[in-house]
Amino acid sequence: MSSLSVNSNVRTVIFLGGLSLLFVGCNSEKTPEGGARLKTEGRTYASAPKEGHVKHRFKIMSVGDQPLEITRVDSSCGCTVAESSTTSIKPGEAGFVDADLTVAPNRRESTIYVHTNDPAQDIIVFRISALGLRAAQLAFVPAVLKVKGKSGELITGKCMLQLSVWKPASRKIVIDQLNFASSSKAIVVSSPEALSIPERPKQSIGNDQNATTQQVALYSHLDRDVFLIPVEYQIQLAAKPRKQRFYSSAQLGKTPEDPKALLSVVATVNAD
């Protein structure tokens, strides 16, 4: 065999050997498979509201070889509060994102954005929505009434009931079906016997010459009508100086599905 042929074979072996070492070196420096990875189930949650809220806990699993970092949690609107149970989830463990959606009298949805260090999905999206909401919502304005007076004094006054009705259900609304109930005989809440709804939207109560304090104000919006209903109250203060608390409710109708509002009263009896 000639010297030229031997040198060629030596160069070939050295080249292949170096190439092998190169591959081995690359494999030894390889990032652990998976890295920071997450797995979730049930990214969308919908439920009928309870006491004006829909709450849900979304589960996040860390399935990579590195801890899963949760850097930030955002929501698409101010109606939702979303918080993560932790900022770092070890491989094989689980974390949670708790969402609390405040509902409105129509269907409401909110999107939750969870920012992570998973290179495959650095932002994961959850959705929560309220289904089967009532077509109307009733509320006292103000919701908390604070009054002061002398011992044994009878305090009278007026407040408002705000009725928001999503269209087209507002066309069928009947105002005179209001029912009131109180926690004590010391407070009586009622609406005027004769209530009338204006035929067209009005910007203020009683701006018509023929209107009275019994007029219901109507504010018409694109998706709903808002009725302001005048309400009268009488509060009998205690005979001795003290602080009293009463509750009164109003309901438009008599079935559990009908809209209901709660009025909280704090009455302070001053010393003579």
* Per-residue model confidence as pLDDT tens digits over 226-271: 888 899 999 999 998 888 888 999 988 887 777 888 899 999 998 7
Residue 250 contacts residue 258 (beta carbons within 8 Å)? no
Predicted pLDDT of residue 235: 93
Domain with CATH 2.60.40.10 in the chain: 38-130, 136-270
User: What's 38-130's CATH class?
Assistant: mainly beta
* CATH superfamily name and code, 136-270: Immunoglobulins (2.60.40.10)
pLDDT tens digits along 6-62: 444 444 444 444 434 333 333 433 334 446 677 777 788 877 776 667 888 999 989
Asked whether the whole model's pTM tops 0.85, one would answer no
Residue 36 contacts residue 116 (beta carbons within 8 Å)? yes
Share of the chain above pLDDT 70, in %: 70
CA 57 vs CA 45, 83, 84, 122, 188: distances in Å? 9, 10, 10, 20, 42
